Amino acid sequence: MASPLAYEQPNLNKAWQAVLLHAPTIVLIWLVSAVLTGIGYGVSSLITLIGGGDAGQGTSSNALSGGVALLSQLGQFPLGILASLVGILAIAVPAMYYSSGEVITVTAAFQSLLKRPWRYFLAGLLFSVAATVGFVACILPGIAISLVMPVFVNLIFTTDHSILDAFAASFNQVYGSSHGFTFVRIQVLTGLVVVIFSVCTCGLGAFVAVPVANFYIQNAAYHRGMVS
């Protein structure tokens, strides 16, 4: 069972208070993710620049240009994966907070990530592939998959369910529960509020709205019985 506070009626004030409690953790998650992304982009740009210099000397061909482009992507790929793993903590931290009832410190957050990195990597890979296939095949399945993410991330970080079991359970809970579509509506409305607030503040509001939304949605997941 999760902490009693997880089952309380969610509201924006509670979500905001939870954000304030986790401000150092949230800020560091964003900074580390941004730094890793920036380094990856820098590596990719450097490889492209070096390859472009060779081309300027007449030593490149179409095959060489393609090789440079591939190498550039490969150079960025590992850091992109690390940035994504760190970034998912933005959703996992609220899940762990409501599960334990304890404030998730910076140390606790990153220790959790480093404890089972392959589990989180494979879970992210499965979810990304499924969502991509869903969007390519038809937009609606992709949206449906995206809307189970908060529950899936919660199950991956707070339980010992296998990745496939957690994936299946997240669908069953969201679309097989009597409160599932209420939870979907909560996500959609929260997302719209985040977008509108972010647009109205020229993007700066996202630094507040996104973490508040993450805590609010995780609280709603417990309150509506999506996770226990």
Dump the DSSP string for 172-197: HHHHHSTTHHHHHHHHHHHHHHHHHH
User: By three-state DSSP, how is residue 200 classified?
Assistant: helix
- Which pLDDT score is estimated for 207? 92
- Which pLDDT score is estimated for 51? 65
Which tokens belong to 79?
A: 């850091």
The pTM of this model reads 0.90
Give me the number of domains the chain comprises: 1
Whether 207 contacts 160, CB under 8 Å = no
Residues in the chain with pLDDT values less than 70: 51-72, 74-75
Instruction: Spell 85-124 as b/e; 16+ CB within 10 A means b.
Output: bbbbbbbbbbbbbbbeeeebebebbbebbeeeeeebeebb
Task: From 150, 228, 219, 226, select the one nearest 9 (Cα to Cα).
Answer: 219
- Which pLDDT score is estimated for 212? 97
Give the domain extent around 39: 4-223
Residue 126 located in a structural domain: yes
Residue 52 located in a structural domain: yes
Residue 183 located in a structural domain: yes
Residue 123 located in a structural domain: yes
Residue 41 located in a structural domain: yes
User: By three-state DSSP, how is residue 170 classified?
Assistant: helix
Residue 164 located in a structural domain: yes
Whether 26 contacts 19, CB under 8 Å = yes
Residue 228 located in a structural domain: no
Residue 72 located in a structural domain: yes
Whose tokens are 């903590």? That residue is 89
